[in-house]
Amino acid sequence: MEQLTFLAVHAHPDDEASSSGGLYRLLADQGVRTVLVTCTNGECGDAPDGAKPDASHHDGDEVAAIRAVELDNAVKILGISRLVRLGYRDSGMKGWPQNDDPESFWATPVEVAAAKLADILIAERPQVIMTYNAHGFYGHPDHIQAHRITLAALEMIDYEPTLYFNAIPASVMVHWRARWEQEDRERAEADAAKGIVREPEVPDPDEEEFEMGTPDDEISAIIDIGDVTGAKFDALEAHVSQIADSFWMKMGRERFMEIMRTEWFVRVTNPMNIDGCVDDIFAGYR
């Protein structure tokens, strides 16, 4: 039988765990070859003391070195067969000065990075690939660029894989949003008790509004990761320098394993002419 290969294009170390960690572990357990392309080194992540990139002592190279080790650990936990680092510098959030660094992923011409990805695709010939939608799922420039280079690379190769974007159904997003708002309120109350007053965040009028949730009827793959949620949690935890404070970690492993039992995707190319919503990302290939 033909070797099944899955490849995902992710922006930063930790994205592989958060948006496809369950899928990776599940496929590895099924004997599928799995490839991870991580586009940036994550220089704009938190420093070991929690400092953000605008802090004067924040050292992007040091942050990247820590994240490289964390990524290696997550790759082991998820059973990923091959990790390819494209090695671009993290572009930071929209409007940050790092956007203009010529070595940043955002400043790299799409066709240049896409050609590198195309070489990997031609060598590995994954039947199924995954990245983010045109908004980079949540608007981060590196995620948008990951989307762009993936679509451009598909134009450069000699076959058509099935492409999926990761997604959260709108009905699920409603719950998460409520949870995040609650956390924000609690943080503001805790700050207020300490005498810290924060200016309320004013939305940027130039900011394009987009909805992170995908209409439920557009979801075309619902993957039950219930058997491997523990591994997904452990892979997230491997990125401790970035997410020790995240709502996932605060949830704790047990609660996480109860709640985070599904990953969702939207099919974008469909060379196997699959109909409707599937529960196997390799539907049509096995």
Please pick, from the candidates 4, 12, 133, 225, the single residue that binds Zn ion as defined by CB under 5 A: 12
CA angle, residues 122, 27, 33, in degrees to nearest 5: 35
Single out the segment in contact with Zn ion by CB under 5 A; choices: 11-19, 55-63, 176-184, 208-216: 11-19
Single out the segment in contact with Zn ion by CB under 5 A; choices: 13-21, 156-164, 173-181, 271-279: 13-21
Nearer to Zn ion, 4 or 83 (CB): 83
Nearer to Zn ion, 11 or 221 (CB): 11
Cβ-in-10-Å burial (0-12, 13-18, 19+) of 14 comes to buried
Helix (H, G, I), strand (E, B) or coil at 125: coil
CB of 212 to Zn ion, least distance (A): 14
Residues 15-54 interacting with Zn ion (rule: CB under 5 A):
15
HSE (side-chain half, CA atoms, 13 Å) at 85: 18
CB of 3 to Zn ion, least distance (A): 29
Contact (CB, 8 A) for 78 and 24: yes
Single out the segment in contact with Zn ion by CB under 5 A; choices: 9-17, 80-88, 99-107, 178-186: 9-17
Minimal CB distance residue for Zn ion: 12
Tokens found for residue 247 = 């709502």
Single out the segment in contact with Zn ion by CB under 5 A; choices: 8-16, 99-107, 191-199, 269-277: 8-16
Nearer to Zn ion, 4 or 149 (CB): 149
Largest CA distance in the chain: 65
Number of residues near Zn ion (by CB under 5 A): 3
Nearer to Zn ion, 32 or 113 (CB): 113
Cα 152 to Cα 117: distance, rounded to the nearest angstrom: 9
Cα 158 to Cα 189: distance, rounded to the nearest angstrom: 56
Single out the segment in contact with Zn ion by CB under 5 A; choices: 5-13, 157-165, 201-209, 242-250: 5-13
Identify the H or E element spanning 71: helix 60-77
Please pick, from the candidates 4, 11, 117, 243, the single residue that binds Zn ion as defined by CB under 5 A: 11
CB of 77 to Zn ion, least distance (A): 18
CA angle, residues 25, 76, 259, in degrees to nearest 5: 40
CB neighbours (10 Å) of residue 99? Answer: 16
Nearer to Zn ion, 188 or 212 (CB): 212
CB of 106 to Zn ion, least distance (A): 12
> What percent of the chain is helix, strand and coil (3-state, nearest 5)?
40, 15, 40
Single out the segment in contact with Zn ion by CB under 5 A; choices: 4-12, 31-39, 70-78, 86-94: 4-12
CB of 240 to Zn ion, least distance (A): 16
Cα 25 to Cα 92: distance, rounded to the nearest angstrom: 28
Contact (CB, 8 A) for 99 and 90: no
Q: Does 90 bind Zn ion (CB under 5 A)?
A: no
CB of 26 to Zn ion, least distance (A): 21
Torsion angles phi and psi, residue 10, rounded to 5:
-120, 155
Please report, as ranges, the residues that interact with Zn ion according to CB under 5 A.
11-12, 15
